[in-house]
Structure 1
Amino acid sequence: MDRFDAMRVFIRIVERRSFTKAADDLGLPRSSVTDAVKGLEARLGVRLLQRTTRQVSPTLDGEAYYQRCVSLVADLEDAEGAFVGAKPSGLVRVDMHGTQARYFLLPGLPRFRELYPDIRLHISEMHQPMDMIREGFDCLLRAGELADSPLIKRRLATLERGTFASPDYLSRFGTPQTPDDLEGHEMVGLMAPDAAEIIPLVFVVDGKIRQFTLPAMVTVTGPETNVASACLGLGLIQVPRYRVVSELASGALVEVLAGFPPSPLPVHVLYSPTRQLSPRLRVFIDWMAQQFRNRTAPAE
């Protein structure tokens, strides 16, 4: 293993706080990962990592060396990627909403594989607050308004949303004509995984945002269960329009209050500001942006 490969190994160990996880991410035997660090420590004459039975963490020297390694490896990858014919390679780990992955990205993956055969993808669906670097992710895909964060964000799409209910529900509760008609109605209570409150229904009325939290017989945290509950007549839901295309076509759901749409849902990709974009991550993010454009473009 050459010096730069050893640096890549060291970077991943620091970020994952584990020899085993780093080895799994890089597709290397654990012994190779251990030998790489031993070689770096022997060459530098310092101890880079503090090992305990539960975790691996950088020493002060190790933290300083990590910062230099991140910069050097990024520069090297940029230099290599500048040559005509050089193909990005390696593993990209991304966490995203599973429904968005299946609708926007998976259909285009065969073509992505043709274009970049040396890039491997790991798609996680945890979709919860996390330390991106510690968990070993290269980027996160997040929908909705974002809290302040040191991460760099790039908007990929703005998804139109609507309010939907089943015909059975509307036959029992009536069809509201304006948001003021929602008294006596119910909603499926969608809750974010990291929040204890139901996400309110949001409507734009005369250019102003109004929020309503209705009684909920059932609360859910999963988007698939949210839509399934609405199809069973358990309440009103608000979701991105793409998610209920088939349910609208089959008649399982119908749109209500179309004249008072919810505010659109922004979708961003987030990545670390502490390093330059590697060629593989750059092309992956650009490809994701194109997939969202393709799938949200108005039909001609």
Structure 2
Amino acid sequence: MDSIHSLLTFVRAAETRSFTLAGRQLGLSPSAAGKAVARLEERLGVRLLHRSTRTITLTAEGARFLERCRRILCEIEAAELEIAATQAAPRGRLKVSLPLAGMLMMPAITAFMRSWPEIELDLDFSDRLVDIIDEGFDAVVRAGGLRDSRLMSRTLGEFRLVLVGAPAYFTRRGTPLEPEDLLVHACLHHRFATSGKLERWPLQRGRKDMDLELPETAVVNTIEPLIHLAEQGLGIACLPDFALRRQLAEGNLVKVLDDFTHHSGPFRLLWPESRGVSPKLRVFIDHMAEHLFA
């Protein structure tokens, strides 16, 4: 057990590049975490980590050893989870990061809470690029691709960006038939909270992107206010289709320039590979994959 604890401490230290953070995750002091790795290095007869006053980095031997340790710990955790799954229903705290548009996912979240009352959800709404491992998240829901080799992922569904406005707005201002028509319309824009940049409207003619200087009637850094402004007939907005199911079905919003709008992307659920899949995380993954884009 001491060997397993040393391996786990080494993996956490290597991933966080800090004995302080590794110790915090494991309930140890920075000194105890450092000594555990030092004992492991002494037993192996090789240096696994370079230490400095600011950070720690892997040696070449440490990098090779890290991958083997991750596989060993994953197998141990998988064995424990397999046994635990047969003994009890999923329960405990589940910490999940959702995008700011996550309020639009609340019907699926609400249904999950009703189905699994023993699981306590800790939800963090943010568009920033969270560090799943360092910040202790069990899972993160985000749009786009997978960029971190330490993470596992499951695609929850695909979405498209569409241009929409209220019927009353188009009655008053006319319906744009060509992308250039947008230059005389009220355009409602989304600003990325992380970068401060406006989200580009994915307009194309043929296969060529169009870069138009669109009016900035309003700029908002979350999606829900844009939906409200568009429903109130104050302009045209570029929004993900999954967020507009009710409005489109009820006719409160209608799509325009669909033949000139080309963008699609995945929503993914990500979780740390090194922690395996606990029963509570497994049912959350399966539920979101089934219900989010149902």
Q: So what's the TM-score if we normalise by structure 2? A: 0.69
**Deviation at residue 11 of structure 1 after TM alignment:** 1.3
Match of 2:113 among 110, 113, 125: 110
Question: Which has the larger displacement, 219-228 or 87-96?
Answer: 87-96
**Deviation at residue 267 of structure 1 after TM alignment:** 1.4
Is the aligned partner of 1:254 residue 2:244? no
Please give the residue correspondences for 1:7-46 in structure 2 after superposition, counting only pairs within 5 Å. 7-26=7-26, 28-30=27-29, 33-46=33-46
Q: In 2, distance between residues paired with 1:278 and 1:128?
A: 24
The AA in structure 2 aligned to 1:165 is G
Kindly tell me: are residues 269 and 103 of structure 1, through their superposed partners in 2, closer, same or farther at Cα, counting changes over 3 Å? closer
Question: Which residue of structure 2 lines up, in the alignment, with residue 155 of structure 1?
Answer: 155
**Deviation at residue 23 of structure 1 after TM alignment:** 3.5
Contact 1:157 1:293 in 2 (8 A): no
Contact 2:162 2:258 in 1 (8 A): no
Please give the residue correspondences for 1:1-300 in structure 2 after superposition, counting only pairs within 5 Å. 2-26=2-26, 28-30=27-29, 33-83=33-83, 85=86, 95-100=97-102, 103-104=105-106, 106-110=109-113, 114=117, 124-128=124-128, 140-144=140-144, 146=145, 153-159=153-159, 162-166=162-166, 169-170=169-170, 173-176=173-176, 181-192=181-192, 193-194=194-195, 196=197, 198-202=199-203, 213=212, 214-227=214-227, 230=230, 235-244=235-244, 254-257=253-256, 263-270=263-270, 278-280=276-278, 284=281, 287-297=284-294
- Aligned residue pairs, count: 286
Gaps of 5+ in 1: none
The AA in structure 2 aligned to 1:257 is V
**Deviation at residue 161 of structure 1 after TM alignment:** 5.2
State the Cα RMSD in Å. 4.5
Q: In 1, distance between residues paired with 2:152 and 2:289?
A: 19
Kindly tell me: are residues 112 and 16 of structure 1, through their superposed partners in 2, closer, same or farther at Cα, counting changes over 3 Å? farther
Kindly tell me: are residues 210 and 65 of structure 1, through their superposed partners in 2, closer, same or farther at Cα, counting changes over 3 Å? closer
Kindly tell me: are residues 65 and 77 of structure 1, through their superposed partners in 2, closer, same or farther at Cα, counting changes over 3 Å? same
Q: In 2, distance between residues paired with 1:188 and 1:62?
A: 51
Q: In 2, distance between residues paired with 1:13 and 1:101?
A: 35
Contact 2:159 2:266 in 1 (8 A): yes
Gaps of 5+ in 2: none
Kindly tell me: are residues 121 and 16 of structure 1, through their superposed partners in 2, closer, same or farther at Cα, counting changes over 3 Å? farther
Q: In 1, distance between residues paired with 2:148 and 2:62?
A: 26
Question: Which has the larger displacement, 127-136 or 190-199?
Answer: 127-136
Q: In 2, distance between residues paired with 1:19 and 1:276?
A: 18
Kindly tell me: are residues 49 and 102 of structure 1, through their superposed partners in 2, closer, same or farther at Cα, counting changes over 3 Å? farther
